[in-house]
Amino acid sequence: MKAIVNIGLKKGVLDSGGKATHHTLQTIGFGDLVADVRVGKQIIMELNTTDKDKAMAEVTKMCKDLLANTVIEDFEIILEA
């Protein structure tokens, strides 16, 4: 089973990387197309289980304990068979 974890800053937290990327996109001619940019990270893991409930519980624990700073970041977990 594969777990895809998307992590990004919570709404209201200043995203300096997103602002810099947005500014650069405007500078190179995409200003009319792109309204805002948020930069995050994606972690893809191959898991040694087929139990979706167990996988979700364990990956959630990984996110809370290590992968995400839950004070300023939100995370989303997608499980694929």
- The pTM score is 0.90
Fold topology of 2-80: Mth169; Chain: A , (3.30.1280)
Q: What is the pLDDT of residues 4-30, one digit of tens each?
A: 999 999 999 999 999 999 999 999 999
DSSP string for residues in 12-80: TS--HHHHHHHHHHIIIIITTT------EEEEEEE-S---HHHHHHHHHHHIIIII--TTTEEEEEEEE
Q: In the prediction, which pLDDT does 28 show?
A: 98
Mean per-residue pLDDT, 64-73: 98
Q: What is the pLDDT of residues 35-55, one digit of tens each?
A: 999 999 999 999 999 999 999
